[in-house]
Amino acid sequence: MTDQGGPARSESTDSRWAGGVILLLSGPNLSLLGRRQPEIYGRETLADHEETARQAADRGGYRLEVLQSDHEGELVEAIHGARGRCAGVIINAGALSHSSWSLHDALAAFPGPSVELHLSNPAAREPFRHRSVLAPVVDGSVAGFGGLGYRLAVEAIIALVGTRGQMP
């Protein structure tokens, strides 16, 4: 538990993670960004957003790793693989944000900071998007700022690394 009342975790990070790897995960249908409902998601592609995130990571002295998958299990495995290796995880899980207890559990078991990211503002859209099952186990959410959210999410991870307590 962080002193800001963050999610309960079995492990914590410390400043030894500074300058490490940030993992950016993108879920189902996000490979279609730029062509998919541009009135909602904009005209920028996922590669554009990843580049925005990469530049923000570079500025902070971090390396960005990215993975997009339409498959829940691949995203779960990527979060497992980040344990002990990545300083933080950013996830735009697409529609899995609203349904995936597997991603919820994987993120709950990730010891470092994590941020849920959305281009749109799900709270202002259809009712099924109002609930995120990931929200209770991430440090915070960035939603509704379009491509700017990718920079904000990286900056949030960088700010959180090192503010956590020392390893028990």
For residue 36, the minimal CB distance to ligand DQA (Å) is 8
Output the CA–CA distances (angstroms, integers) from residue 33 to 36, 59, 88, 133, in the order listed: 5, 25, 24, 23
Please identify which residue in 75, 89, 119, 142 interacts with ligand DQA, judged by CB under 6 A: 119
77 burial type by CB count under 10 A (0-12 exposed, 13-18 middle, 19+ buried) = middle
Please identify which residue in 92, 100, 114, 141 interacts with ligand DQA, judged by CB under 6 A: 92
User: Catalytic one among 41, 49, 62, 150?
Assistant: 41
Token pair 């975790």: residue: 9
Please identify which residue in 21, 129, 145, 162 interacts with ligand DQA, judged by CB under 6 A: 129
For residue 28, the minimal CB distance to ligand DQA (Å) is 7
14 burial type by CB count under 10 A (0-12 exposed, 13-18 middle, 19+ buried) = middle
Site residues (CB under 6 A) for ligand DQA, limited to 9-38:
29
Contact yes or no for 97/75 (Cβ under 8 A): no
Q: Is 118 in the site for ligand DQA (CB under 6 A)?
A: yes
Which residues contact ligand DQA by CB under 6 A?
Answer: 29, 92, 94-95, 97, 118-120, 122, 129
